[in-house]
Amino acid sequence: MRLKDCHNFYDFRKLAKQKLPSPIFHYIDGAADDEITYARNSSAFNDVDLVPNVLRGVENVDLSTTIFGKKLDLPFYCSPTALQRLFHYEGERAVGKAAKKFNTMFGVSALATVSVEEISSLIDTPKMFQFYFHKDRGLNDSCLERAKAAKFDVMALTVDTITGGNRERDLRTGFTSPPKLTLSSLFSFATKPMWGINYLTKGKFELPHLQDFVKEGTDTNTSIGNYFSTMLDQSMNWDDAEKLCSQWGGHFALKGVMSVEDAKRAVDIGCTGIMVSNHGGRQLDGSRSPFDQLAEIVDAVGDKLDVICEGGFQRGTHMLKALSMGAKACAGGRLYLYALAAAGQEGVERALNLYKTELVRDMKLMGCTKISDLNRNNLRFRNA
Amino acid sequence: MSLKNCYNFEDFRKLAKKKLPAPIFHYIDGGADDETTLKRNTNSFDDCDLIPNILRSVGEPDLSTTVFGRKIDMPIFLSPTAMQSLYHPDGDKASARAAEKFGTMYSMSTMASFSIEEIANISSGPKLFQLYIHKDKSFTDDLIDRCKRANFDGLCLTVDTLVAGNRERDHRTGFTTPPKFTLESIMNFAMRPGWLFRYFTNKKFELANIKHKTDKGTNITKSVIDYVNEQYDPQMNWEDAEYCIKKWDGPFALKGVMSVEDAKRAVDIGCTAIIISNHGGRQLDGSRTPFDQLKAISDAVGDKVEIILDGGVRRGTHVLKALAAGATACSFGKAFLFSLGAGGQQGVERLLQNMHDEIRRNMILMGCKSVKELDRSKIIYRN
C-alpha cells in the first residue's frame, strides 16, 4: 500500500499502521477506557441526515470561513497535537507547511517537537498555540511570551486534561516520550526499520517549549497520561483562565468546553472562541460527543464567540453537518496525523486536499455555494 | 497473562477463564436464556453521556458516600454472591479482606462458603448480609439472629429469586455444587490442575451458613438451580419482608426491586434502602436493566431511601452515571468474582484499586469535588 492508494481517512490509517512501530500507532489510534466516546465522536454524525436542495447553480463553491478574525480558505483546520516528530521525522514542519499551502489554521501544541520560532519562520499563515497550564509558572510565562513574540494569532488553553486519561493501549504497549526500548516494544520497533533510522538520524527528539524547565518527555521517559497527572496544575480555575486571557491580550480560546454553562462563562471571561471537544475521546470515556452537544452550545453562545467543533471528523459530510448545526469551523487531529505518519508533508497535503475535494463535491450536491448557506434546515435528526 | 496485565473487566475475565474449570467460569459468566438482559445491563450506560465542567480547581475529590449507616470510601461495593470458594479457596475471606482494605462494603450471601461468624472474626469493615427466605422459617430467624450477634451493618432480602432462572450454560456444562465429576466435565477440570490442587488441598467445600440445617448443596451433589427451587419459599410476600425488617431492626434493603410501585411499597414497609437489580441478568431474561430504570425509581423514592444500583457496572464512568442519575452507590458481582478467580485477595484488591483510580480520575475530569456534586445536570440521555 502506498500514498497514492489512500482515498479516505481509513486508508491513511492503514498506511500509518504499516509504517509506525505499534506503540506509536496505538498512541494515535487509541483513546480512553473502552473507547466508546471515541467511537461515538464519529458515529454521532450518522444520527442526522443531510437534506439537499436542487437547481441552485453551484458551479463555484467558496469554502472559506473566518475564525479569530482570520480568513481561512477551508472550514477546517489542523488541531494542535503533541509529539509529531514521533510520527514522522519532519513533524510539525510538515504539517505547518501543508496547512500553509491550503491557507488554513495550524495548531501547535505546547508538547510540540518543533519550536514556535521555527514554525513562525516557516509559515506566515494563521497559527494557534495550544497551552497547558503547568504547575511551573515560569514555564507558563515562557510559553506565552514565546508564542507572542513568534506572532501566533490565537492562544488556546486546554481545559480537559486536568489529569491523564486512562489510555489502556498505552499501558499495554508501554508507550512513553521519548520512546523507551523495552524488550516488549523492541520487536515492534525492529520491524519498522525506516522509522527507526529516521528517528535516530534526523535530529534529536526534543520538546522545545518545555525542555528548559522539565526533563520529562525529553530526557526522562514519561507517558502522556502521567505527564498530565504530574506536571499540570490541577487547581486551575476560572480566575487563572481569565488572567491568562488578559495576559495574552489577543484571540483566546478554551479547548475542551462541553457544558452550556461553561461556554457562557467562557464568554464572560473574554474568550473569543471555544473548541467543543472531548480531546478525541482520549480523556473521559462516556462523555458526550462534540457533535451531539454542538446545537445547545451554539444556541447559547454562537453569536458571542467562535464555536469550533473538534473531534470525530472522518468525512467532508461530517463537516457539512457540523457547519450546518452552527459551528464556525471544524478541527481534528487524527484527521491529518495518520497522513503525516503515512508520508510526511506530502501525506498531509493529500489528506487536506481529499477533504477539500469532498467538501466541494458535497456542497454542490447540497445546493450550497458558500459556508453561510448551510443551516439547520439542511439537517434532520433520526430520533427527534 | 498475569494479574499485572489486568487493567479492566475484560482482562480479569480472560484471566479467570484461564484459571477456572469451564463449568465454574460459565456459572459466573452466564445469564438467563439468551443473555439479552445480561448484555443490556452494561450497554445501557452507553445511551447516556457525561457532561464535564472545567476550571473548577478540583484538587483531590472525595469519593466517599454512606450506605446502610456506614461511610464507605468509594461509591461501589461488593454484591453478595454465592459459593465464592469455588473461585478461590480463600473465597469470602479474600473478598472481605480486600473490601476492608479499600474501606468499602463486603456482602455475604446466605449461600456463602464461610460462615457469618468466620467473616465477622476477620473483618471489621462494613458488612451486608443477603438473606434468602427458606421454606423452613427457623432458617430465616437463625440467620438474622446470627447477623445481629456478628455486628453486620445491614441486611438485604433477595426478592428476585423465587424460582431459579434458566441458565442454559449450566445445563450444558453440568454445573453443580459441589462440582460433580462426570465424564463430560472431567476434561474441563483436568485441564485446570492448579484449581484442582487448591480445591482438594483446602478446607472442604461447604455452604457454611446453612450446613447445620440441611445437607443440600453440601454433602450431596446438587445443582444450585435445584437448591433454589426446593428450599426457597415461592410464597414469600410483603408481610414476610416486613417481618424480617422488624426482626432485624436496622438498615434494611430489598434486593431486586425493579418497578416504581414496588420501590414505593418498600419505603412504606420501612426499608432504608433498595437495591435495583435483575440479579445480574441471571433470572428473568428480557427484563429491564437497573440503569434504564434508575431514573424513574430515583424520581419516586430517591429522597426517602438509599438507592443501590446493582448490575452491569464495569467502569468508573458507569458508577458516575449511576450516581448522577440518582443512585447512592453501586455494587458489582461478576467483575469482582473474575478478579477473585484470577488472583484471590490480591486480584480483588487490584480490581478495587483500578476502580478507585478510574472513579477518582473521572471525577477530576468531570470537575467534581465530591460525589454529591453528581446530579442530573451532569448527564444527558441520548433519546
Q: Prior bond to A21 cis, omega within 30?
A: no
Interface of B with A in 111-140 (CB under 8 A): none
User: How far is the alpha carbon of B3 from chain A, nearest alpha carbon, in Å?
Assistant: 13
Domain A3-375: CATH class, spelled out: alpha beta
A337: Cβ contacts below 8 Å, ≥ 6 apart = A16, A28, A81, A84, A87
Residues of B involved in catalysis:
279
Average pLDDT score over residue span A86-113:
97
Question: From the CA atom positions of chain B, what is the Rg in Å?
Answer: 20
A382 CB within 8 Å of a chain B CB: no
Q: Prior bond to A126 cis, omega within 30?
A: no
Q: Do B57 and A234 touch (CB under 8 A)?
A: yes
Cα angle B319, B320, B325 (rounded to 5 degrees) comes to 100
Total domains in chain B come to 1
Q: Which of B118, B34, B124, B129 is nearest to B80 (CA)?
A: B129
Interface of A with B in 275-294 (CB under 8 A): 278, 283-289, 292-293
Confidence of residue A159 (pLDDT cuts 50, 70, 90): very high
**Which helix (H) or strand (E) is A335 found in, with range?**
helix A334-366
- Tell me the CA distances in angstroms from B137 to A122, B132, B144, B231, B232, one per residue in order: 85, 11, 11, 11, 10
d(CA B381, CA A288): 10
Q: Do B365 and A159 touch (CB under 8 A)?
A: no
Domain ranges of chain A: 3-375
d(CA B193, CA B240): 45
Q: Which of A200, A177, A12 is nearest to A111 (CA)?
A: A177
Q: Which of A34, A160, A259 sits opposite B365 (nearest CB)?
A: A160
> Grid coordinates standing for B374?
453528581
**For position B181, what pLDDT does the model report?**
67
The parent domain of residue B330 ranges over 3-381
B320 CB within 8 Å of a chain A CB: yes
Phi, psi of B214 (to 5 degrees): -150, 155
Q: Which residue of A has its CA nearest to B363?
A: A284
d(CA B263, CA A137): 54
| Active-site residue flag, A279 | yes
A-chain CB neighbours of B56 within 8 Å are 237
Pairing state of beta strands A48-50 and B106-109? unpaired
User: How far is the alpha carbon of B54 from chain A, nearest alpha carbon, in Å?
Assistant: 6
Q: Do A163 and B361 touch (CB under 8 A)?
A: yes
Maximum distance among all Cα pairs of chain B, rounded to whole angstroms? 63
**Do A85 and A79 meet the contact criterion of CB atoms below 8 Å apart?**
no
> Grid coordinates standing for A222?
514519561
Q: Do B49 and A236 touch (CB under 8 A)?
A: no
Q: Do A234 and B321 touch (CB under 8 A)?
A: no
User: How far is the alpha carbon of B359 from chain A, nearest alpha carbon, in Å?
Assistant: 11
Q: Do B55 and A240 touch (CB under 8 A)?
A: yes
B47 CB within 8 Å of a chain A CB: no
A-chain CB neighbours of B4 within 8 Å are none
Which residues, listed in sequence order, are joined to residue A130 by a DSSP beta bridge?
Answer: A109, A156
B330 CB within 8 Å of a chain A CB: no
Q: Which of A295, A318, A291, A289 is nearest to A31 (CA)?
A: A289
**For position A200, what pLDDT does the model report?**
85
pLDDT tens digits, residue range A294-345? 999 999 999 999 999 999 999 999 999 999 999 999 999 999 999 999 999 9
A-chain CB neighbours of B54 within 8 Å are 159-160, 162, 254, 256-259, 262
Average pLDDT score over residue span A88-116:
97
CB atoms < 10 A from the CB of A364, how many? 16
Interface pTM (ipTM) of the complex? 0.89
Q: Do B55 and A159 touch (CB under 8 A)?
A: yes
**Do B161 and B283 meet the contact criterion of CB atoms below 8 Å apart?**
yes
Q: Which amino acid appears at position B268 of this protein?
A: D
Q: How far is CA A179 from the centre of its chain?
A: 22
**For position B243, what pLDDT does the model report?**
95
B-chain CB neighbours of A241 within 8 Å are 55
Q: Which amino acid appears at position A137 of this protein?
A: R
Average pLDDT score over residue span A235-261:
97
User: How far is the alpha carbon of A117 from chain B, nearest alpha carbon, in Å?
Assistant: 29
> Grid coordinates standing for B98?
480486600
pLDDT tens digits, residue range A28-73? 999 999 999 999 999 999 999 999 999 999 999 999 999 999 999 9
d(CA B380, CA A302): 21
d(CA B314, CA B319): 8
**The model's pTM:** 0.92
**For position B216, what pLDDT does the model report?**
58
Q: Do A258 and B320 touch (CB under 8 A)?
A: no
B5 CB within 8 Å of a chain A CB: yes
Q: Which of A166, A235, A238 sits opposite B358 (nearest CB)?
A: A166
A-chain CB neighbours of B52 within 8 Å are 160, 258-259, 278, 284, 287
Average pLDDT score over residue span A266-276:
98
> Grid coordinates standing for B326?
440518582
A-chain CB neighbours of B382 within 8 Å are 292, 383
Confidence of residue A168 (pLDDT cuts 50, 70, 90): very high
B321 CB within 8 Å of a chain A CB: yes
CB atoms < 10 A from the CB of A138, how many? 10
Residue from B54, B317, B319, B321 to probe the interface with A (highest A Cβ count within 10 Å): B54
**Do A319 and A48 meet the contact criterion of CB atoms below 8 Å apart?**
no
User: Is it the case that residue A209 has pLDDT exceeding 60?
Assistant: yes
CB atoms < 10 A from the CB of B150, how many? 17
d(CA A292, CA A40): 9
Q: Which residue of B has its CA nearest to A233?
A: B57
B45 CB within 8 Å of a chain A CB: yes
pLDDT tens digits, residue range B235-263? 889 999 999 999 999 999 999 999 999 99
**Which helix (H) or strand (E) is A157 found in, with range?**
strand A154-158
User: How far is the alpha carbon of B320 from chain A, nearest alpha carbon, in Å?
Assistant: 10
A120 CB within 8 Å of a chain B CB: no
User: How far is the alpha carbon of B339 from chain A, nearest alpha carbon, in Å?
Assistant: 18
Q: Which residue of B has its CA nearest to A226?
A: B361
d(CA B305, CA B299): 11
B380 CB within 8 Å of a chain A CB: yes
B58 CB within 8 Å of a chain A CB: yes
Q: Give the side-chain half-sphere CA count within 13 A for A142.
A: 15
Output the domain CATH number for residue B116. 3.20.20.70
Task: Give the DSSP per-residue string, A250-312.
Answer: SEEEEEEE-SHHHHHHHHHTT-SEEEE--TTTTS-TTBPPHHHHHHHHHHHHTTTSEEEEES-
Q: Do B8 and A34 touch (CB under 8 A)?
A: yes
Q: Which residues of chain B have pLDDT under 50?
A: 219-221
A-chain CB neighbours of B8 within 8 Å are 33-34, 168
B-chain CB neighbours of A166 within 8 Å are 357-358, 361
